[in-house]
Amino acid sequence: MFRLSLVALFAFFLVACIERPEPANGGGPGSNQQENTSKATVSVETVSKSVAETAGTVTVNVTRTNLLSEVVTVDYASNAGTAIVDTEFNSVSGTLTFLADETSKAITVTIINDNDYEADKTFAVVLSNASANASIQNNTTTITITNDDPAPVSCLAADLDLAWPFGGLEGVDWVVQNHFDHDDTTGLADYMGGTKTYDGHKGVDINVSSFREMDANTPIYAAAAGEVIAKADGNFDRQTSWVTYDWNYITVKHANGYTLTYGHFQQNSITVNVGDVITQGQHIGNVGSSGWSSGPHLHFELKDCSNVSVDPFQLAVWASPPVYNTSIALMDYMVFNYALGTFEDMKDPPPNATTVSTSAAVTGGMTIAGGAVGDTIRVEFIKPDSSVWFAGNASYTQNYVDKAGLYYWYWWTTVDSTTGTWQIKWFINGVEKASHNFTVQ
């Protein structure tokens, strides 16, 4: 016979009540999710950030959520990573106190600008020891101090590798007219001990044949990469004599600390501005004759870290330097339907004449680059019947070779009454280099 005591029945009822799940927050059967509001949560706002070393300070924000009705505290301290304490930042430590309803606090760290070129450096601000009524979520902000100091300069000429600033061919499209003068007295001495310079010249002059090349917008290219630190443009660009006028120029500073000045540009042709970082071979402007200049050319002046002018040829910093003694070559020829009295007209010649009146003067000119002792040049004026009416000749002596790289030569004659097509021919060392027809009428 089954019997159940009153005590056993009570015990069974009690156990059943204890094991029965209790719904949470009004949830249905089996729900036991509850929001934990028993503690506040403190956290750094961001786990990483960057700051320039010139910024002066950096701020780390710390936030508090939950349990806003109570006071919460948390300690903080900086930890050095690759950054050096008291050299690149000042260490900090302390305690943040969040009063009731406060949700944000700031930690300020002083950043020290050490003026050294170096890799970016890091340090951290770390939270610890929250009060008993709080927990820490994200405890660390890692701060990167970004270097903004320029790379050190070597001041070594060997760190330059200069490209030639002109395109085309030596002796045809351009020629070195004047080298750097190394003689500190009234004498002359270029880098080879010769006299292809003028007294006190502290650069390299690279000439084109005449203003025809300037008017054709002959480009000049950057010899090396660097930053433009000075510029002037807009000045008159057709000077033919050494008179003091403002010139058009730029100065570029290079990674090794040297500077290059490019001068005498064509007016309003400079393509770069102060602050621009340019690349080797970049078009920077066109050849001109602004400032103290007797004809279209580029003045190219290199200075070292002490701002002293130095010779790129003597320093051997050209990647592919031109030869010292340029082989003789015809750069250009000119035809004038009048008797030329001076070579000045050859610097800025009109278009070559195509008609000449009977019994009038005609001039045949030529721009010659380079030359060696014994080289010959010749101009022939030829009648319609192919006979030579007049010829002009010259032979190079040591005097010509020792001086400038470019010379103007011209001869003129008066034609007779023979009408028809005449011709001028130009020869170098007996080889015809150019010819031009004109009509006598």
Q: What is the CATH number of the domain that holds 136?
A: 2.60.40.2030
Count of the separate structural domains present in the chain: 3
Q: How confident is the model at residue 117 (pLDDT cuts 50, 70, 90)?
A: confident
Same domain? For 338 and 429 the reply is: yes
Could you tell me if residue 11 is inside a domain? no
Same domain? For 186 and 282 the reply is: yes
pLDDT of residue 335: 98
Strand segments (E) across 86-173: 93-98, 104-110, 121-128, 134-136, 140-146
pLDDT of residue 234: 97
Same domain? For 170 and 300 the reply is: yes
pLDDT of residue 26: 36
| Residue at token pair 């020290």 | 112
pLDDT of residue 37: 65
Same domain? For 184 and 312 the reply is: yes
Question: What number is the average pLDDT over the span 400-422?
Answer: 94
The residue segments making up the domain with residue 365 are: 329-440
Same domain? For 262 and 384 the reply is: no
- Token digits for 116? 């050294």
Rg, Å, the chain Cα set: 42
CATH of the domain at 417: 2.60.40.1930
Could you tell me if residue 21 is inside a domain? no
Could you tell me if residue 293 is inside a domain? yes
Same domain? For 342 and 277 the reply is: no
Q: Rounded distance, CA 380 to CA 398, Å?
A: 25
**Which is more confidently placed, 10 or 55?**
55
Same domain? For 320 and 333 the reply is: no
Q: How confident is the model at residue 15 (pLDDT cuts 50, 70, 90)?
A: very low
pLDDT of residue 23: 39
Report the predicted TM-score, pTM, of the whole model to 2 decimal places: 0.74
SS3 content of the chain, % helix, strand, coil (to 5): 5, 40, 55
Q: Do 409 and 378 touch, CB atoms closer than 8 A? A: no
pLDDT at 32 over 50: no
- Write down the mean pLDDT value for the chain: 91
Same domain? For 64 and 157 the reply is: no
Same domain? For 207 and 285 the reply is: yes
Q: Do 61 and 44 touch, CB atoms closer than 8 A? A: yes
Same domain? For 351 and 402 the reply is: yes
Q: 208 burial class (0-12, 13-18, 19+ CB within 10 angstroms)?
A: buried
pLDDT at 143 over 70: yes
- Would you tell me how many other CB atoms lie within 10 Å of the CB of residue 348? 16
Domain boundary among 118, 146, 174: 146
**Which is more confidently placed, 112 or 150?**
112
pLDDT tens profile 354-368: 999 999 999 999 999
Q: Cα separations (Å) of 219 from 176, 210, 215, 287, 298? A: 16, 14, 11, 6, 10
Question: What number is the average pLDDT over the span 303-313?
Answer: 98
Could you tell me if residue 12 is inside a domain? no
Q: Do 246 and 252 touch, CB atoms closer than 8 A? A: no
Domain boundary among 95, 113, 146: 146
Same domain? For 112 and 163 the reply is: no
Could you tell me if residue 28 is inside a domain? no
pLDDT at 12 over 80: no
Domain boundary among 293, 324, 355: 324
pLDDT at 6 over 80: no
Could you tell me if residue 119 is inside a domain? yes
Q: How confident is the model at residue 82 (pLDDT cuts 50, 70, 90)?
A: very high
pLDDT tens profile 146-195: 988 777 889 999 999 999 999 999 999 999 999 999 999 999 999 999 99
pLDDT tens profile 196-229: 999 999 999 999 999 999 999 999 999 999 999 9
CATH of the domain at 216: 2.70.70.10
pLDDT of residue 150: 76
Q: How confident is the model at residue 404 (pLDDT cuts 50, 70, 90)?
A: confident
**Which is more confidently placed, 199 or 118?**
199
- Would you tell me how many other CB atoms lie within 10 Å of the CB of residue 165? 21
Could you tell me if residue 34 is inside a domain? no
Question: What number is the average pLDDT over the span 34-42?
Answer: 74
Same domain? For 312 and 374 the reply is: no
pLDDT at 13 over 70: no
pLDDT tens profile 262-271: 999 999 999 9
Could you tell me if residue 13 is inside a domain? no
